[in-house]
Chain A
Amino acid sequence: MNDEKILEVRHLSKKFGENTVLIDIDFSVHTGSVICIIGASGSGKSTLLRCINLLETPTSGEVLFHGTDITKPGTNIPAYRAKVGMVFQNFNLFNNMTALKNCMIGTRRVLGLSSEESHERALFYLNKVGMSPFINAKPRQLSGGQKQRVAIARALAMEPEVLLFDEPTSALDPQMVGEVLSVMRTLAEEGLTMLIVTHEMAFARDVSSRVVYMNEGVICEEGTPEQILVNPQKQETRDFLSRFMNG
């Protein structure tokens, strides 16, 4: 981790009609850090991530990528998204393509690599997530965990600077959660900058450099994994964690 701020969120708010989902969010992501965002369902974690990737347009506030505000009109949003990857809860693999094609299409069409290069890259990252035997399979033929690993490979093939994970294991059964988390662990060790919305507390404790606890649309508490998960200062955080740990 170094001092460069790759992403910076400033005074970000999001409303869906009358319903305020995010209120004045401020935080930043340093290059090489892994940040886990935890919190109850409906606390705005996913919306925050979607605002960062501009899948939702923030109502107000700024998102700075290398110091440039990407919420301004005239921003080349596709080019920005190519550098900030995203992994979804429901995988969102392209159903009309095989696993291999899923990982090739972005590098081929968006980055403009030759088909040999993008093929090579796709194989490399599919191998990394342990999915190389399944390159010919269509998404409907894969299990949830396998789909999510292909989705991670698809995001990695773009060689993004930051990777956003939106509850990547929430749609998986416990057996498959492990295989996806171990892939993510490897990525963390390799120094990929990641922003992860998760309910996996053990994972958050082990891999993250910072943990952000969100509650009702605001960042309630932020700090190192020990500060947040072991010695939370705020009552809300303590309540959330105790509810979570006791099931």
Chain B
Amino acid sequence: MPQDFLGRILFILDNYLPSLLRGAGTTILVALVGTFFGCIIGFIIGIIQTIPLEKNDSLPKKAVLRALRLVLYCYVEVFRGTPMLVQAMFIYYGSMELFGIDMSMWFAAFFIVSINTGAYMAETVRGGILSIDVGQTEGAKAIGMNHVQTMVNVILPQALRNILPQIGNNLIINIKDTCVLAGIGTVELFFASKSVAGSYYWYFQTYTITMAMYLVMTLFFSRLLRWFEKKMDGDESYSLAHTDTLEQTSGLYKFRGKNRKERR
């Protein structure tokens, strides 16, 4: 048995790296799936919350919409206002005791992270929608689009760009916070680390590795999202369309290497 710090770290890596990596893989999978479905939940709630209620709308429509909004409001407040670990316990054990549903570990993990993220995203999406100039909505209405068409074609693509940093934030938070799922037995990175640390009582060494692994994951995804943001912004320039294709034949060829250098 190695006695020094570095020796112990190497020993752990040598023997337990696969199990730690599996844990990290689970963490990433749960975080990605949870964030993805959380975003979808957020977008759906965002659309519903921003349906305009007009004075001459029919009574049933008003009633249904009001009721729906109340339910969604409660959902957001409850899941934003309680810790995810407690939610996980509540849902996992509650569903078993009340309804006799034995959730699989995976389903429970995805479900809990998704609805938790959804509650946060609902507010983020609402903010994103509100950030888009009302003129965009009016422009869409003026050519006859209904609320859903306006949202899907015009508002949400722009809102998505604006809230992308916040989605990234949520993903990073989820990568870290899935560690609470160890509480319901999801074998993610923290759970795996705990087992490794426990077998030799080398806590400091094990968690040094765990820290590094979490940091690598979060750094990777934050860089990835930055790159994606840039890509979404599109080109700074545009090409003129010429009806006569022979009009401009010289000077159009792009020399790849040279052009790359010219870009920032």
Contacts and interface: CB of A to CB of B under 8 A. Distances in A.
Nearest to B137: A92
A55 interface: yes
B53 to A, nearest CB: 11
Interface stretch (B32-40, B150-158, B174-182): B150-158
A111 B138 CA distance: 18
B139 A93 contact: yes
- Say what secondary structure dominates the interface of chain B: loop
Contact of B144 (A78, A88, A137): A78
Given A57-B54, A73-B57, A81 B234 contact: no
Nearest to B58: A73
A73 B59 CA distance: 10
A17 interface: no
A132 B154 contact: no
Contact of A110 (B144, B157, B241): B144
Interface residues of A, number: 41
A172 interface: no
A95 B158 CA distance: 8
A57 B138 contact: no
Interface string A200-215: 0000000000000000
Contacts of B240: 133-134, 136
B158 A96 contact: yes
A25 B143 CA distance: 25
Interface of A: 53, 55, 57, 71-74, 78-83, 85-86, 88, 90-96, 98, 105-106, 109-111, 132-138, 141, 151, 154-155, 158
10 smallest CB-CB distances across A and B, nearest first, come from A82-B144, A92-B139, A106-B143, A86-B142, A92-B135, A73-B56, A110-B144, A137-B238, A81-B144, A96-B157
